[in-house]
Structures are given as structure tokens and as C-alpha cells.
Amino acid sequence: MLKKENLEKYKNKHYLSPKECAEIAGVFPTTVIYWIKAKGLKNYKTPGGHYKIKKDDLISFIQGKNLKKVIKETEKLNILLIEDDELLANSIKEGLKDKYNIEIILSYQEALNKISSKYNLILLDINLKDGNGLDIAEKIMNNTETAKIPVIIISAVNRSEVIEKGLMLALDFIKKPFSIKELEIRLQKLLNNLFYE
């Protein structure tokens, strides 16, 4: 997983951004953020709130940990979809049923009661009729049982401050409207880095 040619590229840098770490590790920058939030990759925050990672800490992390929970290609990941638009939720489930086991939750309150470590991934809308999805993302991250579950936000929200907060709490932010094919491709790319050998 350690890309030596990219490590050489940053040989004179002691602190790296998530993007630079991603180049060295051969993963997406969002995966590095996930390592920081859920896997214990040591990091520092600049006064502007940006992550910085010591190069030595990144190398130790990559070499010393089994970063992937290995899933066989024949197994389906369990995805929890929290989305109050029932038509959209059913379209996503139908469109992805060949690759993933998807359970739908249509309300904020039900989501709070059902989230558990049995899920490999959570797809989460922000604007739920009975609550704010960002609150759910925060609860997931702050609960030791669920903190390691990657969360991907799906939302039509355009406000930059909401998107930024979402990206601090989740692995990725997918803007509505999107096609099922686009969602499938983005999920595959992200999940290949997290779960599959």
C-alpha cells in the first residue's frame, strides 16, 4: 500500500495534508480522513481547522495496521440508508440490490434507535422531516460501538458551511440529484479502499 515513488516526492516534508498522505498510501483523500476519524491515525489541526499528519506517523500507521476489514468479493456489504424520501430510498435499494444488502430507515427517530455495528456503511440524508441528519452523523462518530462505520452523506443542500460540516463528520458528501449509476460507481471506488483486498 505504501507507494515509494510518492514517498520520495515528499521526502523533504515532515507534515503532510490528507491529499499528500493519500498519494503516498495509494488511496483517496477521503479514506485518509476516515483513518483519522475512525482508525486512530495521529494528526494535528492547523488554526484554520485543516488536518496535518506527520510523515513518520503515516508510515507507521500503514506498516503497523491491517487497514482493511477484508470482505470476500462474493459477500455483500450491509448498508443502512437513512432517507425520508421513500421513492428515492426504494430506487436506491432496487438499483443497488445486486451488490449490497440495503436496509431503509425513513425517519430521524427510527435511525437513532436502529443504528448498530452490524452495518458496513451508512448512507445519510441531512434534511429529514423529523430531525437533522448531521446530528445523527455526530452521534455515530461519538459512539464507540458505531464510530468506525463509514458514513456517506447524500443531500441537496448547497450551503458551503453545511457541506464542510458534513465532510468533517462523514467520509464523503454526494450531492443530489444523482443517478443510481453515479452512486454505484462512487460507492465502489470508496468501498474498494476500505473493505476489499
Q: What are phi and psi of 38, to 5 degrees?
A: -120, -20
pLDDT tens-digit readout, 65-87:
544 455 555 578 889 999 999 99
Cell of residue 160, nine digits = 458551503
Q: In the predicted model, is pLDDT for residue 116 greater than 80?
A: yes
Q: State the average pLDDT for the chain.
A: 84
Shared domain check, 180 and 117: yes
CA distances from 183 to 60, 82, 176, 188 (A): 33, 15, 10, 8
Omega before 177 within 30 of 0, i.e. cis = yes
CATH at residue 57: 1.10.1660.10
- C-alpha distance from residue 161 to each of 58, 74, 139, 158, 175 (Å): 29, 40, 19, 9, 14
Both 53 and 148 in one domain: the answer is no
Query: Residue 179 and residue 133: Cα distance in Å, rounded?
Result: 21
- Tell me: do 161 and 119 sit in the same domain: yes
Q: Domain span at residue 89? A: 77-194
